[in-house]
Structure 1
Amino acid sequence: MLNFGFQSVLYLIIHLIALIVTWWAIQCLKLDLFVHNPKGPKAKVLLIFITIAISYLVAKFFLDYLNWSLNLPQIYNH
């Protein structure tokens, strides 16, 4: 298994990459279809919260996949 410090850095990097990619991808969303004032501060905060929520799920998926794939060799140890 990965040591704790390296694992923490890896998790932070994956979460940051997921956040940046999600923010980049969400910029094409036509916000004026969903909110009254798409340029206002409330719309920007909503965009930030949506970005955080989606990027968390994406990063969690990749981190779970990584952990599961690292645990696969333990099948043969039993």
Structure 2
Amino acid sequence: MNGLFMFGLLKLISHMLFIFLSFWALKAVRIEKWIRKNHIPEARILYVFLSIALGYLVSSFFLDFLEVSRNLSLLITN
């Protein structure tokens, strides 16, 4: 039970961290060139959705990489 709680907490922290990092990194992209004039709220929502999607994908990759490396280490030691 404790291991399951810790993995859930790691997953939550990882998702939030990578969503924040992707939001920060997307500030470097000049996305306003693609948005029509007077559509500021829609652009902000698009920015948040892109951050969530990118952060979730990177976090999922990171967590899968950790799981595979842990499984490989268990396979090699046994």
Q: TM-score range by the shorter chain?
A: 0.7 to 0.9
Q: Which runs of 5+ in 1 are unaligned?
A: none
Size of the alignment, in residue pairs? 76
Alpha-carbon offset, residue 28 of structure 1: 1.6
| TM-score normalised per structure 2 | 0.87
- Is 1:61 equivalent to 2:43 in the alignment? no
Task: Tell me, yes or no, if the aligned pair for 1:22 and 1:51 is still in contact at 8 Å.
Answer: yes
- Deviation string for 1:20-71 (max 9, x for gaps)? 1101110121122211137610000000111111001100110000000110
Counterpart of 1:45 in structure 2 is 45
Deviates more, 1:2-11 or 1:57-66: 2-11
Q: Which runs of 5+ in 2 are unaligned?
A: none
Counterpart of 1:71 in structure 2 is 71
Counterpart of 1:34 in structure 2 is 34
RMSD: 1.7
| TM-score normalised per structure 1 | 0.87
**Aligned partner of residue 8 in structure 2, secondary structure:** helix
Counterpart of 1:14 in structure 2 is 14
Alpha-carbon offset, residue 8 of structure 1: 0.4
